[in-house]
Structure 1
Amino acid sequence: MTAQIHVPSLLSRAGAVSALTLAAVGGTLLAPGAAPEAEAATSYASRALGIAASKKGSPYKYGATGPSRFDCSGLTLYSYKRAGKTLPRTAHQQYNKTRHIAASSRAQGDLVFFHSGGYVYHVGIYAGNGKIWHSPKTGSWVKLDRIWTSKVWYGRVA
């Protein structure tokens, strides 16, 4: 993959320009293998989403963090850990660790936090189309569900 980066036309007309010169004037250069920050974050999120989906049917167990049983934050912690990112243990701690984003900016793999007032009580991984992968409660299992309330906040794992 190659990150596409803007080089001012004046410098590109001048011929070969060193990386130091570009840095000094605020330009950038093409770097094979470099990924823009948003694209890199999306790859972690996509992997975490796929990992959560692969746990479909795993039973809920309070306090469980996998690999075969999960509570809500245990599923998100496990999924992101396997994707290469570290999250704290509880839904509220995970909310505090993420970059908060507007609903209009949400993307697949972002975390969806269910709240009552200022307290976060549940978390899932956004799957698109108003749905999340989550492990909801005792007697249930990891599954894909519609977001059932408007009392949600969104967070992006950095």
Structure 2
Amino acid sequence: MTVLTYIGITVLTFLVMEAVTWCTHKFVMHGFLWYLHEDHHQPKYQGVFEKNDAFFLIFAVPSMLLMYFGVEPVLNYKLFIGLGIMFYGMAYFLIHDVLIHQRFKWFDKIKNPYLVGLRKAHKVHHKHLGKEHGECFGMLYVPKKYFNV
């Protein structure tokens, strides 16, 4: 495979992860694993970590395994799928935990219309404290109605 193919696999995996995240958030986090996600919908964090942070492992473990098996015995496509998942996880951390929830005060004065729209959509998602009646389950794709157009 060529370098462009590997880059394409990584980018495609990153993009597909938005759909995977949406489905996981709607049907797993707001479904049978609500007990792990519920504390995330409470008004204030009760410490540095919340049970919801366990989902980091749910996504990180497959990514690490794919990267491990993607270099042995020879470099192959699994590494680049793992990298796509890892890059999405890094974006998720920066967007969700840093920008939206301000768990770290790195980007507290954002004026970019797209990023402001992301924050608005996520606030709408969190207005529901229960697992029912949710909306805006994705992270990077946000409906137009949340942007000042």
After TM superposition, the score normalised by the length of structure 2 is 0.33
Which structure has the bigger radius of gyration?
A: 1
**Per chain length, whose mean CA-contact separation is higher, i.e. which structure has more relative contact order (CA < 8 Å, sep 6+)?**
2
- Structure with bigger helix share is 2
- Structure with bigger strand share is 1
